[in-house]
Structure 1
């Protein structure tokens, strides 16, 4: 059996949940595992390594803001982390999100190149690895990454910067991320895989392994939601995001709140600045829910799940809602088209289409059979990753 080190920016959120699920199943299969992370708190019951501290993150953020250097801070923290890697002695290093102001990519990948005997798997949850700045570019229709980023159109968006150094970043990433022996890339969608094949990462083996969810939690047998919000038998239009901003469709929800009738109420789950919703009576915010079972109750209570995202590599929330039998309406952005399984769900281009659907379509719960629920199951994801963890694949 193998010693597996997972590396991700966080232990919570969608990518953190993926890491934890893989950790659990790998341990059950006999592997020894550890999760290295940069931000937030470590969950109980997991072997973890915290990379750096809060001051390291602040300094990394400052460097990124001032010099467009996301991924190039945290030098001391990463050197100390390398020592912890050497103590753990992994056979497999499974990378997830390495952006997020917590690790230095030059130092980390220098170590990876110096150890060809370690099998590396890198799950790309967005496009940051092969651009000079951004994790998502489809909303801005920017295709510079194909030939080399020259002038960034997204410096004011994550990872925000006062200056534009996208050309330098692109060239550095190309040098750092290529020519790594024993590396396999994984994409959660065919959409992202096809982009990677057109990038400077195209020489690597790349697999599509779609994300999955725990269908023992996200299903149609959950209890009713207990909330202090006066729902008053209104139809819930639900939105879910870790952090709400325009990239996740916050502006669309605000516009929608001005147009829907009193028959509806908008519930947004996730971190949201209250200044955005004070003036709108029919938008309510529920702070981040770390309990998946509580989140599943909201999906089940919703009339429709609306996901006006500007860009997703996959769109796991779409899976979660549909597994609860709730119809999904999602913008056709990135890999979201690959998440629509429920026949009462829709891909749309813009807010106007959603407004027309609300007026003219009767959404209804879809009673899923076992085979339909299994389409969403994380066991499909885990089985494919476990195949990659096998020693005979190293």
Structure 2
């Protein structure tokens, strides 16, 4: 049996939940596991390492915002992490999101290169690893990253926001840091991201596609009176869910759509800030971000259609949560989002209104079970430890 260390920005949230599911599956298979994380809190029952502290994160954020140095702060925190890695003595290190102002990529990857005996799996949840700045670029229609990002980046004001641009230097540094790591395999949750990685400087690594999954013991068709609680029991619910709502996630699209609805429809958006809720049109019900998973399940189950007008994404777990609750998904043809929707429910700017009102009720046959996702990762694990 192996000793497995997972490294991720968080222990909760979508990528954190994926880490926890993989931890549990690996532990059940007899492996010894630990999760190293940077932000937020750790749940009970997991062996964890907290990387740095809140001051480290603030200083890293400041360095990133001023000098476009996301991934190049947290030096002491990362050196302390390496000491703890040496104490844990992992056979396998499974990287997830390494951006998020909590770890120094240069120090971490120098350590990984110095230890070829450690097997490495790196799950890419976005595109940050092979660009000079951004996590996504499809909305900006930028392909400079395929050769070399430069100072004319259209996403300078996007995450991670910065005052002074250092994009070309970042690109070249990341290319050097992330290249030539022995015994490393990449995993992408979508075929789309695998294809993108294949155009980047990471293309020489072996790449597996393993779709994200959700807990189908939690996300399942669940009867409730939630529509009655909001006085909309006789209306067709068009549901949208996001952890952060912005133009990229499609908030503007929902507002435009609301102008065309008659009384038989009701838009419900979950995950909005208080300010966003105050600015909504009267015919949209806005709900703040909830940690109550059962409330979320009730909304997924009560909705007639889940509409995800994301303008750039990898393989959204919200699509999977809706499908697991028996609700069909309509989404834009961007990134990996359409991979989880029925082919007749994939929209563009010209036809999305028609599809939202006349969606195909049949749900795409898809394995959304987090347990099956974990089993596929265990197969990759067996492959790397041979």
| Pair 99,362 (structure 1): closer, same or farther in 2 beyond 3 Å | closer
Residue aligned with 1:333, SS: coil
Q: Which range moves more in the overlay, 80-89 or 262-271?
A: 262-271
In structure 1, what is the equivalent of residue 99 of structure 2?
Answer: 99
Consecutive unaligned residues in structure 2, runs of 5 or more:
none
1:1-394 correspondence to structure 2 within 5 Å? 1-150=1-150, 151-225=152-226, 229-275=230-276, 277-341=278-342, 346-350=345-349, 352-359=350-357, 361=358, 364=361, 372=365, 375-390=367-382, 393-394=385-386
Q: What TM-score results when the alignment is normalised by the length of structure 2?
A: 0.94
Q: Deviations over 1:15-66 (max 9, x none)?
A: 1111010011111111111111111111111111111111111111111111
TM-score, normalisation: structure 1: 0.92
Is the CA contact (8 Å cut-off) linking 2:216 and 2:369 kept in structure 1?
Answer: yes
CA pair 183-262 structure 1, distance change in 2 beyond 3 A: same
Q: Deviations over 1:67-108 (max 9, x none)?
A: 111111111111111111111111111000111111111111
Tell me if the contact between 2:307 and 2:356 (Cα under 8 Å) persists in the aligned partners.
no
Tell me if structure 2 keeps the 8 A contact 1:155–1:163: no
Q: Measure the CA separation in 2 of the matches of 1:391 and 1:194.
A: 22
Cα offset for 1:236?
1.7
SS of 2:101's equivalent? Answer: coil
For the aligned residues, what is the CA RMSD?
2.1
Determine the C-alpha separation between the residues in 2 that align with 1:285 and 1:72.
Answer: 38
Q: Distance in 2 between matches of 1:309 and 1:88?
A: 40
Please say if residues 277 and 283 of structure 1, whose CA atoms lie closer than 8 Å, have aligned partners that are also in contact. no
Distance (whole Å) between structure 2 residues aligned to residue 358 and residue 390 of structure 1: 43
- What is the alpha-carbon distance in structure 2 between the residues aligned to residue 392 and residue 93 of structure 1? 11
Distance 2:359 2:32 in 1: 50
How far 1:181 moved relative to its partner? 0.8
Cα 1:79–1:23 change in 2 (3 A) is same
Indicate conservation of the 8 Å contact 1:34/1:46, yes or no: yes
> Can you list the C-alpha shifts for 1:83-136, whole angstroms capped at 9, x where unaligned?
111111111110001111111111111111111111110000111100001111
Answer yes or no: is the 8 Å Cα contact 2:25–2:371 preserved in 1. no
Is the alpha carbon distance of 1:291 and 1:3 closer, same or farther for their aligned partners in structure 2, counting shifts above 3 Å? farther
SS state at 2:256 partner:
helix
Q: Give the distance between the partners of 2:5 and 2:359, measured in 1 at CA.
A: 47
SS in 2 for 1:267: strand
Cα contact 2:268–2:284 (8 A) shared by 1? yes
* 3-state DSSP of counterpart to 2:243: strand
- Number of equivalences: 385
CA contact (8 A) 1:222 1:296 kept: no
Alignment CA distance shift 1:277-1:164 (3 Å) = same
Query: Runs of 5+ in structure 1 lacking a partner?
Result: none
CA contact (8 A) 1:71 1:105 kept: yes
Quickly say closer, same or farther: Cα 1:147–1:228, change in 2 above 3 A. Answer: same
Deviations 1:241-297 (A, max 9, x none): 111111111111222223322322222222425246435212233232334333221
8 Å contact kept, 2:189–2:314: yes
